[in-house]
Structure 1
Amino acid sequence: MDDERGVRHQNGARRTALIVSTIADVAAGFLVLWILLFLLEANQANVFVEFVHGTADWLGWWAQDIFTMDTEGVRVVLNYGLPAAIYLLLGHGIAARINRAA
């Protein structure tokens, strides 16, 4: 009976870790996608591009204008790339910690 509970706890922890890392990946994916769309000069009036930009703004609001470069492309890469990297590091770090604790 205790072995069964332990296995269920371990499986639950693995699922939780997978969810945490997946959320971090999706968040970073939106940020990186916006960087690519911006650098490739995608049509800003397109609904999809607007959605990605809005989502990236929402995810990276706390890092906006940390870097104020003259070159707009470099500014976008740094201001959206920093949150992407932090989300990946934190998300995967938390997931690894959850897996180790199980």
Structure 2
Amino acid sequence: MSYPHDRIADNSQYNTDGNRPYHADPVGYPAPANQRRAGNRGGLGADRTALVIHTVADIAAGFLALWILLYMLDANQANVFVDFVHGVADWLAGWSQDIFTMDTESVRVFFNYALPAVIYLAIGHGAAAWVRRL
């Protein structure tokens, strides 16, 4: 099956570059098969693995940021959704609890949950970039 976003070549019988109407590879088009990375089916497996790592890090940071937002907006702690987000955030930030012990509760919650969010983003995006280079 051809790439669904390829341009339609007008003079395909004169085109020696397969279905590509232009010699230059425009942004957004997949690289020709002979220019892809060796192994791993042209790098698709590495790209998918990197995407999974990237997405998991974003979701973890998202839960932590959502808990910070719900806490700062004084959300109802008895609500099932708020309790779920708090439980996930506590689990994700369990290793960093009480690193910061400020007197102001909201500042303490912000720093104790923002630090792991930033670390998850940095490690996740860095690992995804490293996997893409493999």
Q: TM-score, normalised by structure 1?
A: 0.92
1:15 and 1:93 map into 2 onto residues whose CA distance is 15
Higher relative contact order (CA 8 A, sep 6+): 1
Corresponding residue number in structure 2 for 1:84? 117
Corresponding residue number in structure 2 for 1:19? 52
Q: CA deviation at 1:51?
A: 0.1
Q: How do 1:30-49 residues align onto structure 2 when only pairs under 5 Å count?
A: 30-49=63-82
Structure 2 unaligned segments of length 5 or more: list them.
Answer: 1-33
1:86 and 1:9 map into 2 onto residues whose CA distance is 31
Letter matched to residue 41 of structure 1: D
Q: How many residues end up aligned between the 2 structures?
A: 99
**Aligned-pair identity (%):** 66
Corresponding residue number in structure 1 for 2:126? 93
Q: CA deviation at 1:7?
A: 5.7
CA distances 1:25-75 after superposition (whole Å, capped 9, x unpaired): 000000000000000000000000000000000000000000000000100
Q: Could you say what the CA RMSD is over the residues aligned between the two structures, in angstroms? A: 1.5
Corresponding residue number in structure 2 for 1:53? 86
Where 1:29 maps in the other structure, the secondary structure is helix
Structure (1/2) with the larger helix percentage: 1
Q: How do 1:57-76 residues align onto structure 2 when only pairs under 5 Å count?
A: 57-76=90-109
Q: TM-score, normalised by structure 2?
A: 0.71
2:48 and 2:128 map into 1 onto residues whose CA distance is 10
Structure 1 unaligned segments of length 5 or more: list them.
Answer: none
Q: Which ranges of 4 or more aligned residues in structure 1 deviate by more than 2 Å? A: 3-7
1:79 and 1:30 map into 2 onto residues whose CA distance is 13
Contact 2:40 / 2:46 at 8 angstroms: preserved in 1?
A: no
